[in-house]
Each structure stands twice: as structure tokens, then as C-alpha cells.
Amino acid sequence: MDTEPGLDTEPELETEPGADEEAEDRKLTPRQARRLRMVLSSVGMAAMAVVLALRIASRSSVLVVGVYGLALILCGIVIELSRNGRTRLGSWLLAVGLVAAIGSDWLLIP
């Protein structure tokens, strides 16, 4: 088979230059994912502490302390899970726990 040099027998699909690099750049490394979960948990912990202080100032209740205390403990657990590489489990716990804390505040605390 004689073919001219420089000619390909199969046409290449034309794509945007750098499209593969952009897709790879969007993914987080495991270290970045751990740090992101730790930061989100820390922000959640700070927010729960502020809400706890505001709720105690308006009406002191054991139920308020219990709900937001458990949310603070949950944020701490998620930080530890993230440090140990369990980021998916930590993400689910953080999301479910914070939604449960806000929902129980809305439903249980007058």
C-alpha cells in the first residue's frame, strides 16, 4: 500500500483544543475533596453555633441545646471523617444531619 506521507487513512474528529484538559481540571483530587468537606463542615459548625446562641438568647430550652448541640457534634464527626478520607460518607452525613437539625427546629421547637 503506497500512501503519501502525512495523509491519514482515517479522519480525526475535530474537537475544541483543550476540551479534555478542561474536563480533567474540573475534577477534584482526593486531597482537595477532603479539604473542601472540612471547610464546609467548619462553616456549618460556625453557623450552627451562631444559630444556637441566637435561639438560646430568644428562648432558653433544653430541646434547642439538644438539637443544635447534636448538629455541632455531627459537624465535628464529618471533619474527622474527612480527615480520614471518608469524604462521601461525610458529605451524606453533613447534608442529612443539617437538614434534620433545621427540620427538627422548624417542627419541634415553638
Domain-embedded: residue 16: no
Q: Which pLDDT value is given to residue 5?
A: 57
pTM (predicted TM-score): 0.64
> What mean pLDDT comes out for the span 88-108?
86
Q: Is residue 35 part of a domain?
A: yes
Q: What is the pLDDT of residue 17?
A: 56
d(CA 82, CA 30): 10
Range of the domain at 67: 29-108
Domain-embedded: residue 87: yes
Residue pair 57/94 in contact (Cβ under 8 Å)? The answer is: no
For residue range 23-52, what is the model confidence (pLDDT) as tens digits? 556 788 888 888 888 898 889 889 888 988
Residue 102 pLDDT grade (very low, low, confident, very high; cuts 50, 70, 90): confident
* Number of domain units in the chain: 1
Residue 62 resides in a domain = yes
- 44 located within any domain: yes
